[in-house]
Structure 1
């Protein structure tokens, strides 16, 4: 497994600790939770940025999911 696919708290470790904390604090605990939120809503979270968004977009797509439109 690569860092991008190793999961911690249900998210790829490669998104970084600040982004993981931001997601958990906002109530998102699994990848599936992210299908109910838009990309902009995630970018509004303190500690969550474009790099994490791109990683999660790819991870969701690989599993046949996507962010809310």
Structure 2
């Protein structure tokens, strides 16, 4: 059975500055938009291979600009 290919990163609104590995890891994990990240904590996202502290900081700032935040 062929492996399911995730949607291209271009379909998400994740900041490019977060880095391609982090954006791809989020998409593979099922997150498609910044608003989806409100359902996850920083700790949960840091557990994803490719998501590090720098990506979390950038994503936190992008969420804050939209009045959103990670799950506590």
Q: Mark yes or no: TM-score above 0.5.
A: yes
Please state if 1:65 is matched with 2:39.
Answer: no
How far 1:10 moved relative to its partner? 1.5
Alignment of 1:1-69 (within 5 A): 8=10, 9-69=12-72
CA RMSD of superposed structures (Å): 1.3
Q: Which runs of 4+ in 1 moved over 4 A?
A: none
SS at match of 1:61: helix
Gaps of 5+ in 2: 1-9
TM-score (norm 1): 0.87
How many residue pairs match? The answer is 63
In structure 1, stretches of 5+ residues that fail to align are 1-7
Cα distance in 1 for residues equivalent to 2:13 and 2:28: 14
